[in-house]
Amino acid sequence: MDSRKISSAIVCILAFVALMYFAGLGWGQSFSHLKLDPDQVLWSRLSFRAKRAVVDVKVDVRLAPFSTAEFESIWRTNPQSIPLPSPGKEVHDMSVNRVIDHIFSSPVTLSNQVLFEANRAAALYRVRLRRGKDDIERTYWFSREGVHRLRTKPSTKGEASGDPATWTDARTSFYPYDLTQLGCPQVTDPMLLIYLLSAAHIDKSGDSLSLCVFGKQQLHRLRMRVEGLHTLEVDYSETREEGKVRKKGKVDGIRVTLEAQPLQSDLKNAENFSFLGFHKDITIDIDPELRIPLQDSGKIPTIGAVALKLSGVSMRGSK
């Protein structure tokens, strides 16, 4: 073989090896030890909407402190007598209600509640409820050894129209993990990424966080990276104690990209990471000063590319 061809082949191989090496450096970074500032989160409620020809998606997010006594009461409902954790100084409650209204089918409502440690965004307890199609409720209790889950579904059509508390098709599961071996300082929830970006100190291009996030059945390594400023159109109402104002026009938001990789688990097939229904090309644009999410974008299966734009925000202290 011609020596020049051999040299070219060697160069190509070395270039490929180098590319794979440097591409893996980002995923090889250690997980972030979060020290969040809850006081930096200025909002208490967010509303988003994406309206297209055949589908209308609305998302309502609410954030509030949660009493320790009430948390302990809820925790003791777990079916496995899991020991009560010792949360940090503050426990917060985030609820996310998503309604998908498709022109060819009945609306589907997906409700999520997450109780978490405010200073670390560590998930403690979570409830996911789907109504409208394939009704199901999943309740999760987070521990250092893994996540305990109770899944309930209606056994009959009659049960489906009633309160989820009356559903009789129930099954418990346990998803183990070794946080020490994985190097995870804490486990967070996909819904908490909205809170996390408001409470974390990342705003410069290249800033990043590497997190352990639990999806439906397994942990994922999630990397959030600031890609710089991005100009976008906004049109939303802002409610404060002194009243309501309309904000409309072009603004520069901090664009953050999300990339996820499933971590080792006992599942036969790794699950897809999901955030607000987005599975791919996920980005979040936030206001540089108020740290309010202005837009959540990505690709949703069966729908395609979607941009959930902020339609309303209530600041803390407003009614």
Same domain, 23 and 76: no
> Among 29-38, 241-250, 266-275, which stretch is predicted with the lowest mean pLDDT?
29-38
Residue 153: enclosing H or E segment and its boundaries? strand 146-153
> Among 32-36, 64-68, 174-178, 190-194, which stretch is predicted with the lowest mean pLDDT?
32-36
> Among 4-13, 106-115, 235-244, 293-302, which stretch is predicted with the lowest mean pLDDT?
4-13
Same domain, 61 and 122: yes
Same domain, 106 and 240: yes
Whether 195 has a pLDDT exceeding 80, the answer reads yes
Same domain, 10 and 54: no
How high is the pLDDT of residue 28? 46
Same domain, 168 and 213: yes
Whether 9 has a pLDDT exceeding 50, the answer reads no
Are 224 and 257 a contacting pair, CB within 8 Å?
A: yes
Same domain, 80 and 214: yes
Percent of the chain with pLDDT over 70: 90
The distance in angstroms from the start CA to the end CA of the chain is: 78
Q: Measure the CA–CA gap between 247 and 236, rounded to whole angstroms.
A: 5
Q: Measure the CA–CA gap between 122 and 187, rounded to whole angstroms.
A: 5
Same domain, 36 and 110: yes
Residue 80 vs residue 63, higher pLDDT: 63
pLDDT band per the 50, 70, 90 thresholds, residue 16: very low
pLDDT digits (tens, 9 = 90+) for 266-316: 788 889 999 999 999 999 999 999 999 999 999 998 888 999 999 999 999
How high is the pLDDT of residue 81? 80
Are 114 and 100 a contacting pair, CB within 8 Å?
A: no
Average the pLDDT over 161-189 and give the result: 93
How high is the pLDDT of residue 266? 77
pLDDT digits (tens, 9 = 90+) for 200-211: 988 899 999 999
Residue 3: enclosing H or E segment and its boundaries? helix 3-28
Same domain, 218 and 311: yes
Reading the block at residue 163, the tokens are 């309160």
The reported pTM is 0.87
Same domain, 20 and 95: no
Residue 158: enclosing H or E segment and its boundaries? helix 157-160
List of residues 6+ apart from 169 with CB closer than 8 A: 152, 153, 154, 155
Same domain, 51 and 120: yes
Percent of the chain with pLDDT over 90: 69
Average the pLDDT over 41-60 and give the result: 95
pLDDT band per the 50, 70, 90 thresholds, residue 27: very low
Instruction: Identify which of 198, 202, 191, 195 has the alpha carbon closest to the alpha carbon of residue 227.
Output: 202
3-state SS class at 17: helix
> Among 6-20, 115-129, 154-168, 212-226, which stretch is predicted with the lowest mean pLDDT?
6-20
Average the pLDDT over 36-51 and give the result: 94
pLDDT band per the 50, 70, 90 thresholds, residue 228: very high
Same domain, 134 and 198: yes
From the number of C-beta atoms within 10 Å of its C-beta (0-12, 13-18, 19+), residue 33 rates as: exposed
pLDDT band per the 50, 70, 90 thresholds, residue 319: low
Taking all residues of the chain, what is their mean pLDDT, rounded to a whole number?
Answer: 88
Whether 14 has a pLDDT exceeding 60, the answer reads no
Same domain, 118 and 23: no
- Count of domains observed in the chain: 2
Q: Measure the CA–CA gap between 22 and 46, rounded to whole angstroms.
A: 38
Q: Which domain holds residue 5?
A: 1-30
Output Rg (C-alpha) for the chain, integer angstroms: 22
Whether 66 has a pLDDT exceeding 90, the answer reads yes
DSSP states along 241-279: TTEEEEEEEEEEEEEEEEEEEEPP-S-SSPPPP-BTTB-
